[in-house]
Amino acid sequence: MDERKTFGSYFKERRIKLGLTLRQFCEDHGIDPGNLSKVERGVLPPPKDEILKKYAHYLKLKEASDEWYEFFDRAAAESGRLPKELREKEIVARMPFLFRTIRGKKITKEKLDKLIKLIKES
C-alpha cells in the first residue's frame, strides 16, 4: 500500500483498472461526472458510508478483501473519521490516550512501521 496515495487517486486507479473512463463509469452507475471528478482530484471529500459502499461495489471490490478495507480506510482517514470497525466504545475511549501520547513527538516512518508491525503480531 502506498500511504501517500489519496482516496481520490486510489478510486481513479481502481476505475481505470476496470478499463472505464470517468464518463463511462458515471453513465453506467448514474453518477454526476463533475462531482466524481472532484472526488478523484481531492477537491471534494470522500463520500459517506452508504454511497461509499455503492462505489466499492461499482469498482468490483470484493467485500472484506484487503482492497475493500483499503478503500474504506483511505476514505475515513482523508475525511478525519474513524473506520466503522474502530468506532467501538472501548476503542474510542482509549483514543485520547493515544493522541496525548504521540502529540508533540516526531513520529518517524520507522517508528510508525514498528508500531504497525507490533499491532499485526498481536
CATH number at residue 51: 1.10.260.40
- Domain for residue 53, yes or no? yes
- Domain for residue 58, yes or no? yes
Mean pLDDT of 44-49: 94
pLDDT at 1: 59
- Domain for residue 14, yes or no? yes
pTM as predicted: 0.82
User: How would DSSP label each residue in 18-82?
Assistant: TT--HHHHHHHHT--HHHHHHHHHTSSPPP-HHHHHHHHHHTTPPTTSHHHHHHHHHHHHHHT--
User: Who's near 85: CB < 8 A, 6+ residues apart?
Assistant: none
Domain extent, residue 21, equals: 7-86
d(CA 73, CA 92): 16
- Domain for residue 41, yes or no? yes
- Domain for residue 112, yes or no? no
What is the pLDDT of the chain when averaged over all its residues? 93
pLDDT (tens digit per residue) in 89-117: 998 999 898 888 888 888 888 988 998 89
**Is residue 56 pLDDT above 70, yes or no?**
yes
d(CA 22, CA 95): 38
Q: How many domains does the chain have?
A: 1
- Domain for residue 37, yes or no? yes
d(CA 16, CA 59): 10
Residue type, 116: I
d(CA 63, CA 90): 25
- Domain for residue 107, yes or no? no
The fraction of the chain above a pLDDT of 70, given in percent, is 98
**Is residue 21 pLDDT above 90, yes or no?**
yes
- Domain for residue 116, yes or no? no
